Chains A and B, each alone.
Chain A
């Protein structure tokens, strides 16, 4: 039970505390660097303990998954066998598609695989419940990566680095509702702004593309580069619904090229020309 003390002054104390919290929030939104440094400092202090904990709990997690995830693993194996059979059956079609994609990419002078990149390992979801569409990776500023850099797999864009500490980083997945990326339609060369929808594997373009632009199903999209944070020509996905009948505002649905499930490693794309002072 609470021990009420005669000196308790809850209202003034609460008001002061709320004012302090609001001040901190305001200063943070104004970009006050010491507050970011404070947060990063706390995370860096905790980081060695987290790494140790990760190492210690890895065998436990593996054992847990082996015992309690066996059925899921068996189902996944069956699914993959069916998928493999389907892929073999469609090999010729896939090759044709690949050729078409490569031809389209080469037509616009795309050299996606030429990007310098840092390979990062996925650690899992970040702490807390504020982590929808975010994942944590095992590299940070010590490895030369910075906030805003594009994160990709061999299939294409996965997201961007949202928060970078010394030896860990958070990746905001492309499906996050706050995610924005400038994209270009490879065939029509129209550009637009794609954003995350909060739905797995789906992005949406709601601005930029003209109402009368010819956009086809399965048309390939790449990052537009230019003033965007991302380098240009990173594959993003294919058009699922071009919304050709829109009268006022066009909303083009994009299927993300990169499968965000069952990922273990990602690549962080380094800028082509590093600014002076960077590693």
Chain B
């Protein structure tokens, strides 16, 4: 299966999961941002260009599913993927713990940005009284399900390349 088909398969599966199972699982009214975590992980594994493309289509699908204008998530996800990719290339050492913290921060920033851009376009997506709690809860829930998603995204976006090519040279 080609890399593009794998990406399509992962995105469509994620869309269905977001629309069905994950919608039922809510804490404090918050739910998992599955498409966002795919965008972030696509940047992490696939590099900035491929990450941005995957993130764009993940955003478009997210926009189609939700009652938001088409292009809102598609506007936020690609820069998020590029930023994560850029930071990932600058990290000298990463462990599962640091990756999890980075993912938590990226998700939090992503949801804040979506809310902010939504407000710029005249949407009132969040209840101001519960904004912070809801965003943090959603970010934690999203980070909690990242491990299996990580494997799927890596399988999809690497396109047959070996997963552990190291281009960084420390001390040279």
- Tell me the A residues contacting B by CB distance below 8 Å: 1-5, 7-10, 13-14, 17-18, 20-25, 28-29, 35, 38-39, 42-43, 46, 49-50, 53-54, 57, 61, 124-134, 162-163, 170, 176-178, 198-199
Contacts and interface: CB of A to CB of B under 8 A. Distances in A.
A129 B125 contact: yes
Contacts of B78: 14, 17-18, 21
Contact of A25 (B45, B53, B121, B165): B121
Interface of B: 15-16, 18-24, 26, 29-31, 33, 43-53, 56, 59-72, 74-75, 78-79, 82, 85, 88-89, 111, 114, 118, 121, 123-130, 134-135, 138, 158, 161-167
Contacts of A38: 64, 70
Contacts of A25: 69-72, 75, 121
A201 to B, nearest CB: 13
B33 A129 contact: yes
Contacts of B31: 127-129
Contact of B52 (A17, A29, A178): A17
A1 B127 contact: no
Contacts of A24: 60, 69-71, 74
A61 B127 CA distance: 26
List the 10 closest A-B pairs by CB distance, nearest first. A24-B71, A10-B48, A53-B20, A42-B64, A25-B71, A21-B75, A130-B125, A177-B124, A132-B127, A21-B74
A128 to B, nearest CB: 4
Nearest to B20: A53
B165 A3 contact: yes
A57 B24 contact: yes
B128 A28 contact: no
A176 B43 CA distance: 35
A130 B67 contact: yes
Contacts of A162: 67
Contact of B48 (A14, A21, A29, A50): A14
B70 A1 contact: no
B24 A9 contact: no
Given A4-B89, A127-B22, A129-B111, 13 more contacts: A2-B44, A2-B89, A10-B48, A13-B48, A14-B82, A25-B70, A42-B15, A49-B19, A125-B23, A127-B31, A129-B125, A129-B134, A131-B29
